[in-house]
Structure 1
Amino acid sequence: MMPPPATPLPRTAVPAAIRSRLARPLRRLAALLLLAGLAAGTAHAQESAGSAVPGYDRLTVQAAHRPAPLAASVWYPAGTRTYRGLIGDNAVFTGTPALVGAGVAAGRFPLVIVSHGSGGNMDGLGWLAAGLVQNGFMVLAVNHPGSTSGDSSPRRSLLLGARAADLKAALDALLADPAFAPHVETRTVAALGFSLGGSTVLNLAGVGISAERYRAYCAGPGREAGDCTFFARGGVDFAALPAGFTAPGTADARIARFVAVEPGFSRAMTDETLTRVTKPVLLMNLGGAERWQATDLSPAGSNLPARLPQASYAVVAPGHHFTFLAVCKPEGAAVLAQEQDDPVCTDPPGTDRAKAHAAILAAIVAFLKQG
């Protein structure tokens, strides 16, 4: 996730909705709203029946561009029952039930590779992984060194190319694993990222960043924005941004679709590389007036959906950046306040995080199942 903004954001309640890109037909909006309700109802019904619990296991990924192996996790439809564990459960966040080490259900499943945000980790978005499994997908997530929980550095978080390479290495490892490879439908692999992870999957799609444009943004309108202040506190020299930040990634032909939720750096993404993206992309924002400046994709922000020809655009509101994170425990906000940590449990007035998750999931599933 991106760090919080330096100044409080206005918080106005906006009716809960998914709003499609204006150029899209209204019938798609109606379909997404219907799917949101269906996803929520289906998830509750399946969980009460005990049939929705996904399988979960871990992989060790050898990555030539990293000095040490990467940790990765796999979520999948379970074919057998093992013991039930809570993945990602801690003092702040509610964990997600999973059958650890269960056998994989018979069949082949479309795969979604997930990239976490700054300071996040591969198990922190269990609600999303489990929801995707309930909709027939397999999920592969990875910890990104230098920008993961307990190992998050502003300087190293800029290395989008290395993060994108982590996803490729994890996919290589999964497709070489005899327990999982036979169950992957390789024609329908997608990459999904949140916040810094959203920037990572766009890099993986071939998008590059203008160092000059980002430097000008952080010196001007973005001076107090959460991303610029985060990097400034880490001593980042905006006049000498690393090539691993600016260079466009090499598109991976195995990945058919991309989902970028609240991606950062979009104001500095180059139009030249955006127009070269040929695969479908879903861009998503959270919130209305309370939306973060650093991740605002609307015409009032970077206007990225209009600049990326292959993009669809969806908005879920009310909410804001942190609403994408797991549902917090009742005492979560107090724990964070005591530790003087980011207020990741505090949503805008009127926000129901679980309902927002259902709407987010419905929009993502609808996009992934197109074509």
Structure 2
Amino acid sequence: MKHVTSAFCLTVGLIAAISFSMPVHAKGDLAGYDRFDVTAAHRSMPLAASIWYPAGTRIYSAPVNKGPIWKTTMAYIGAAIAPGKHPLVLLSHGSGGNMDAIGWLSSELALRGAMVVAVNHPGTTSGDSSPRRTSYIGQRSADITATLDQLLANPEFAPYIDTDQIAVAGFSLGGSTVLNLAGLRFDRDLYRQYCDRFGDTVQDCAFLRRGGVKFDQFPDDLSANSKDPRIQKFIVIEPGMTDAVDPDSIKDVDGDFLFIRLGREHGWRASDVEATGSNLLAKLDHPEYAVFAPANHLTFLGECVPGVAEMLAQMDDDPICSDPAGTDRGLIHAQIIDEISGFLSLKPKSD
């Protein structure tokens, strides 16, 4: 018993020492954060999901998405949720991204009063992003719908959700997912024509071709009807596939839209929804639109640790940390946060 007691005392002492050595933050300066699994009938295994929210208590803080490339975002892990009803934002990452890599956005929206829930989409997540699985938009949309189903049935989270204020936001392929959830469908023939026309000059078609995808054999899932009427607001950031939107599906779309584009002269053709691109903006009913420049598509990704951009360039790796001359990635992120917060009528960030 002596050894057990000693071990217990030592453990308590270590916990106390760790607790006292943790950074002390003022209440309200960090969002709460937690993870959970989503059971989805269309997937062979549970989906990983994360939730950011206004923290009602302080608890230990830790970095989320810690790694060698991106600056991390601190959060109160498992803190109690602030009392009241909060707007809900569902978040869909881009091809090759993941639910926590967009923590810079999720955290700030949570600090302004929203609950933000993101999910990892199998087949298009960091480390398993496959060109042949990219066009399965219906599966991605079903991931978001299954997540919303589970949230609204979860006694730990549901009481804090304002079901009259549910929004979805997505970047790149996630933006395509948002459009699908709004009721837009994608036409396989139109997407084939787009890729035949532009070939490897557009990033999305070049990526598909490198994976051996045959443009005349896109899956039926690309054309899925995935509208979720519970979602009222749609935030579409640098979306792909907009040239392939089925015009017959536009009449089925309602809700409010905010489109965000990064860069003009440096912008990606695949994400151009103006008259110089797919002209989707003109086909919808008064969507809001914001352009931030200088920037490019990849400026949306997290801020990088100093020196990483140069290291990746020397390795001839993807330019995920490189921006056009004059770009301040942190400033662009702050502007995006303000734009989305205004669209969702969130409270200003407290000092």
Structures share a fold, TM > 0.5? yes
Percent sequence identity over aligned pairs: 50
Counterpart selection for 2:194 from 203, 217, 223 = 217
Q: What SS does the aligned partner of 1:319 have?
A: coil
Cα deviations across residues 215-248 of structure 1 (Å, max 9, x unaligned)? Answer: 1111113442100010001111100110111233
- Aligned counterpart, 2:118: 141
- Aligned counterpart, 2:68: 91
- Aligned counterpart, 1:27: none
2:259 corresponds to 1:276: no
- AA aligned to 1:105 is A
Larger radius of gyration: 2
Counterpart selection for 2:238 from 251, 262, 280 = 262
- AA aligned to 1:121 is N
- Aligned counterpart, 1:341: 317
- Aligned counterpart, 1:362: 338
Task: Please give the alpha-carbon distance, in whole angstroms, between the structure 2 residues aligned to 1:305 and 1:106.
Answer: 38
Q: How does 1:1-371 map to 2 (within 5 A)?
A: 51-249=28-226, 251-337=227-313, 340-369=316-345
Deviation at 1:335, TM superposition (A): 4.2
Cα deviations across residues 64-91 of structure 1 (Å, max 9, x unaligned)? Answer: 0000000000000111111111111211
CA contact (8 A) 1:222 1:294 kept: no
Q: What SS does the aligned partner of 1:260 have?
A: strand
Cα deviations across residues 123-142 of structure 1 (Å, max 9, x unaligned)? Answer: 00011001101211110000
- Aligned counterpart, 1:10: none
Deviation at 1:338, TM superposition (A): 5.4
Single out whichever of 336-345 and 185-194 deviates more from structure 2.
Answer: 336-345
CA contact (8 A) 1:60 1:72 kept: yes
Instruction: Mark the runs of 5 or more structure 2 residues left unpaired by the alignment.
Output: 1-23, 347-351
- AA aligned to 2:330 is A
Q: What TM-score, normalized to structure 2?
A: 0.89
Deviation at 1:170, TM superposition (A): 0.9
Cα deviations across residues 80-137 of structure 1 (Å, max 9, x unaligned)? Answer: 1111111112111001110011111111100000000000000000110011012111
Single out whichever of 290-299 and 118-127 deviates more from structure 2.
Answer: 290-299
Task: Please give the alpha-carbon distance, in whole angstroms, between the structure 1 residues aligned to 2:345 and 2:216.
Answer: 42
- AA aligned to 1:270 is D
Deviation at 1:340, TM superposition (A): 4.0
Over the aligned positions, Cα root-mean-square deviation in angstroms equals 1.6
Deviation at 1:50, TM superposition (A): 5.7
Task: Please give the alpha-carbon distance, in whole angstroms, between the structure 2 residues aligned to 1:50 and 1:311.
Answer: 37
Task: Please give the alpha-carbon distance, in whole angstroms, between the structure 2 residues aligned to 1:100 and 1:143.
Answer: 19
The one of the two structures with greater contact order (alpha-carbon pairs below 8 A, sep at least 6) is 1
What is the aligned length?
Answer: 323
Task: Please give the alpha-carbon distance, in whole angstroms, between the structure 2 residues aligned to 1:65 and 1:334.
Answer: 41
Deviation at 1:339, TM superposition (A): 5.1
Task: Please give the alpha-carbon distance, in whole angstroms, between the structure 2 residues aligned to 1:118 and 1:291.
Answer: 17
CA contact (8 A) 2:138 2:222 kept: yes
Task: Please give the alpha-carbon distance, in whole angstroms, between the structure 2 residues aligned to 1:147 and 1:340.
Answer: 22
Deviation at 1:152, TM superposition (A): 0.8
- AA aligned to 1:154 is P
- AA aligned to 2:158 is A
- AA aligned to 2:203 is G
Cα deviations across residues 316-343 of structure 1 (Å, max 9, x unaligned)? Answer: 1111111111111002214434554311
Cα deviations across residues 230-289 of structure 1 (Å, max 9, x unaligned)? Answer: 00011111001101112332x212111111100001111122212321111111111010
